[in-house]
Structure 1
Amino acid sequence: MQFEGEAVAGGTAPARADAERRQTVVGEAGVGEARVEEARAVPLSRGTALLFAVACGLAVANVYYAQPLLDTIAVEFGISRATVGLVITVTQVGYGLGLLLLVPLGDLLNRRRLIVGLSLFSVLALLTVALAPTGTVLLAGMGAVGLLAVVTQILVAYAAALAHPCERGSVVGTVTSGIIIGILLARTISGTLSDLFGWRSVYLASAGATLVVAVVLTKVLPRREARRPSMPYARLIGSVFTLLVEEPVLRTRAILALLIFSAITVLWTPMVLPLSAPPFSLSHTEVGLFGLAGAMGAAGAASAGRLADRGQAQRATGVALAIMLASWLPIALLGRSLWGHSLWGLIIGVVTIDFGLQSTHVANQSLIYRVRPEARSRLTAGYMIFYSIGCATGSIGSTLVYAHGGWTGVCALGAAISAVAVVFWALTRRPTPSPAA
């Protein structure tokens, strides 16, 4: 039996033979990526790493801007509250397609050209949303925004390739922090801009910022990369599914990603609806501030990473999933007599559920990246596809449930998904050795 996270290229002859067989599956692109790293001519400076973090945060924020704006969008385009979650669903579907069809290209094409090109197309998609005259054009634009937001994952892989091995963990941590901050601040920024200048200003501002970052990346990113052996595109995409079939740890952790991100999207997508209605009647700016409450949960990422380094990834996962499940109790008390009209129950729930989410996500990635270091781009694609599926199903499911069951129904759905995640973890857990082992 293979333990999660256990190295497959270890000392025994069967293990070495298995590693060689798996290398043939990964193909020339995996070898090429390793050669790019070894042939790196320009070190990744602290300033460049921060630029990568800013670019990642800006790109991933595009996926989340719409969440506190759903009520306004529903009114302007005549979309019912039961179906307005399609705005989020279409975006997440586009993101999922981008993970499968675009992210693996980082193993074949010049990454500088790929990153800049996707960023420029993202500017056009954002302008389409900002100027959308009808709901159909809006949905098409949101799908394109999600599709192109996967440049975030290409940037993370590129940063890891450029970094010196002794500082790779620090660099990836810096870039990943940009992603977390982008997700958390997206709702606050969109809510504030919407209150001041209207919801369309959110996407106009993002288009301008994306254009500026794309120009800077053109100047900063290395113009030359080591040549990599060619690989047919169809084979490259197929290898993502091959990895899902052959790697139990990838399958298990991808399913957990689907469940936890579905649960968190069930919370965030309809939350603007009860908060913007009496007795709370919060503005978009005030609703967006709940994203800052979730920032406290980001502390779970660091603690989960340290536990994973000591071989405690499974324990960290179990505790984090239990915290996510328990968080639905204070969240469900929104507006109940026990709390009056106080929002403290919701705030506590947002902090704790985000803590559990970040902890599980980091533990997942820690285990996945130990399996095939030479295929991190495709491992990321396979894992994040399930993340996108979870977000898409959670967003549409939550708005449908809210239309018929209100906030209580939403909390029941979220708690049920979280409970399934706990049961799935308990049924599939295996001992995990430390990286040194």
Structure 2
Amino acid sequence: MNAPSLSRALILLMATATGLAVASNYYAQPLLHSIAEQFGLSTASAGSIVIAAQLSYGAGLLLLAPLGDLFEQRRLITVMTAVSTLGLVISACAPSLPWLILGTALTGLFSVVAQILVPMAATLSEPHQRGRAVGTLMSGLLLGILLARTAAGFMAELGGWRSIYVLAAVLMAITALALYRSLPQHHSHAGLKYPALIASVFRLFFEEPVLRLRSLLGLLAFSLFALFWTPLAFLLAQGPYHYSDAVIGLFGLAGAAGALSANWAGRLADRGKGSLGTTVGLVVLLLSWVPLGFAQQSLLALLLGVLMLDLAVQLVHVSNQNAVIALRPEARTRLNAGYITCYFIGGALGSLLGTQLFQHQGWMGIVVAGLVIGGLALLAWGLANRKAA
């Protein structure tokens, strides 16, 4: 079934699946303080859980996501969702940090199913609705990332930090069944064998300057996202806040409003104004670090910074993704895989930088790094537009 065939209900199911898949990589973030206490870990060692999630997701994007151009996508999506569920089960039962990292890595590797669902939705949507469909799935993705923190904190209060992994495994198993029963069969017919398919991802970077630019912007934007969110649990667990896991998780709700910008960015792309969304997003991204500079003294400033940061990252990301998948319809999965690989490499670098800076320089070290990286992203975009003009 290759004709456009996505109903509103099916798009919402795909958005839910996208959110649940990616959420699996973020449950640990508000729980890092509790996990560190149970296993006797330093801030940097606990942060390795988040880094493992980001790196495995990046590896999955490079090695597994291009399979969407090789195999029938409904079956592939179902299998990958099931294996991601197995990783959650391992995390729930982990007796030590290495086992938790193993479960996290397995989940991260196969949760790239989200990045097969996004180009599939773009391909099966009518052209005039494509940006909105992608925006809906990206809203699901960001809501999954942000609400994962809230759900994890809440479940930790009820049954300890492991309980969120148990619940997530059950939900992912149900999702795998629902996707298999609801998705149309679809094959993109790339006409390539696996080695050539992977090589073609790298070749696309050499051939498409838009892909290179958008991947750089995505890397920088998501590095800022991770730079903030990874050490946040440690900031909120210490004075003057002394918050519990449940309260720390609630900060995901403050950022969830940023997901609403995804549909707006998608509509801008449908009207040929995706560059406007990128510009607005990068400016707000840089400015968000001004209130975040007062996060140690003011809860209001922290909440304002969270809202600005998440809204900006989503604007940039959806604008990037719509620009990338519009380049070559026959290579959407590979284009998306290349872009998102860079995106999550940025996340891993941001997580690593965030935990190291917080341990050695404190919160203001993170703020200074945020201002520098945000300025570099805006400069890169400005130079690219000047060159194009």
Q: TM-score range by the shorter chain?
A: over 0.9
> Does the residue aligned with 2:45 lie in a helix, a strand or coil?
coil
Q: Given the superposition, is the C-alpha separation of residues 432 and 374 from structure 1 closer, same or farther in structure 2, using an over 3 Å criterion?
A: farther
In the TM superposition, what are the counterparts of 1:18-97 in structure 2 within 5 Å?
Answer: 37-38=2-3, 43-97=5-59
For the 8 Å contact 1:119–1:210, the answer to whether it is kept is: yes
For the 8 Å contact 1:312–1:432, the answer to whether it is kept is: no
1:362 positional shift = 1.9
Q: Given the superposition, is the C-alpha separation of residues 380 and 77 from structure 1 closer, same or farther in structure 2, using an over 3 Å criterion?
A: same
For the 8 Å contact 2:70–2:187, the answer to whether it is kept is: no
The partner residue of 1:273 within 234, 258, 264 is: 234
Partner of 2:193: 232
CA distances 1:144-198 after superposition (whole Å, capped 9, x unpaired):
1110110111122223333445544443333332212212211100110011111
Q: In 1, distance between residues paired with 2:237 and 2:387?
A: 46
For the 8 Å contact 1:83–1:396, the answer to whether it is kept is: no
Q: In 2, distance between residues paired with 1:262 and 1:352?
A: 15
> Does the residue aligned with 1:287 lie in a helix, a strand or coil?
helix
In the TM superposition, what are the counterparts of 1:186-335 in structure 2 within 5 Å?
Answer: 186-222=148-184, 224-225=185-186, 228=189, 230-335=191-296
Q: In 1, distance between residues paired with 2:51 and 2:142?
A: 20
The partner residue of 1:181 within 135, 143, 167 is: 143
For the 8 Å contact 1:63–1:145, the answer to whether it is kept is: yes
For the 8 Å contact 1:60–1:182, the answer to whether it is kept is: yes
In the TM superposition, what are the counterparts of 1:119-130 in structure 2 within 5 Å?
Answer: 119-130=81-92
The partner residue of 2:378 within 422, 431, 435 is: 422
Matched, 1:408 2:364: yes
1:329 positional shift = 1.5
How much is the aligned-residue C-alpha RMSD, in angstroms?
2.1
Q: In 2, distance between residues paired with 1:226 and 1:254?
A: 26
Partner letter of residue 262 of structure 2?
A
CA distances 1:193-218 after superposition (whole Å, capped 9, x unpaired):
01111110111110011111112222
Partner letter of residue 195 of structure 1?
E
Q: TM-score, normalised by structure 1?
A: 0.84
1:62 positional shift = 0.4
Q: Given the superposition, is the C-alpha separation of residues 408 and 228 from structure 1 closer, same or farther in structure 2, using an over 3 Å criterion?
A: closer
For the 8 Å contact 2:132–2:267, the answer to whether it is kept is: no
In the TM superposition, what are the counterparts of 1:332-343 in structure 2 within 5 Å?
Answer: 332-336=293-297, 342-343=298-299
CA distances 1:318-337 after superposition (whole Å, capped 9, x unpaired):
3321211111121111233x
1:372 positional shift = 1.2
Q: In 2, distance between residues paired with 1:174 and 1:357?
A: 16
Q: Given the superposition, is the C-alpha separation of residues 105 and 410 from structure 1 closer, same or farther in structure 2, using an over 3 Å criterion?
A: same
The partner residue of 2:120 within 158, 161, 164 is: 158
The partner residue of 1:115 within 64, 68, 77 is: 77
CA distances 1:210-261 after superposition (whole Å, capped 9, x unpaired):
1111122222233x54694742100001110000111001001101111110
Partner letter of residue 315 of structure 2?
S
In the TM superposition, what are the counterparts of 1:386-397 in structure 2 within 5 Å?
Answer: 386-397=342-353
Q: In 2, distance between residues paired with 1:56 and 1:229?
A: 23
1:285 positional shift = 1.5
Percent identity of paired positions between Structure 1 and Structure 2 = 46
1:307 positional shift = 4.1
1:425 positional shift = 1.6
Q: In 1, distance between residues paired with 2:217 and 2:30?
A: 26
Partner of 1:18: none
Unaligned runs of 5+ in 1: 1-35, 337-341
For the 8 Å contact 1:311–1:432, the answer to whether it is kept is: no
> Does the residue aligned with 2:361 lie in a helix, a strand or coil?
helix
- Higher-Rg member (1/2): 1
Q: Given the superposition, is the C-alpha separation of residues 319 and 221 from structure 1 closer, same or farther in structure 2, using an over 3 Å criterion?
A: closer
Q: In 2, distance between residues paired with 1:357 and 1:53?
A: 18
> Does the residue aligned with 2:25 lie in a helix, a strand or coil?
coil
Q: TM-score, normalised by structure 2?
A: 0.94
Q: Given the superposition, is the C-alpha separation of residues 432 and 209 from structure 1 closer, same or farther in structure 2, using an over 3 Å criterion?
A: farther
> Does the residue aligned with 2:41 lie in a helix, a strand or coil?
coil
Q: Given the superposition, is the C-alpha separation of residues 261 and 229 from structure 1 closer, same or farther in structure 2, using an over 3 Å criterion?
A: closer
The answer to which structure has the higher helix fraction is 2
Q: In 1, distance between residues paired with 2:261 and 2:183?
A: 32
Unaligned runs of 5+ in 2: none
Q: Given the superposition, is the C-alpha separation of residues 326 and 151 from structure 1 closer, same or farther in structure 2, using an over 3 Å criterion?
A: same
1:274 positional shift = 1.6
Q: In 1, distance between residues paired with 2:89 and 2:187?
A: 35
Q: Given the superposition, is the C-alpha separation of residues 124 and 95 from structure 1 closer, same or farther in structure 2, using an over 3 Å criterion?
A: same
Q: Given the superposition, is the C-alpha separation of residues 120 and 234 from structure 1 closer, same or farther in structure 2, using an over 3 Å criterion?
A: same
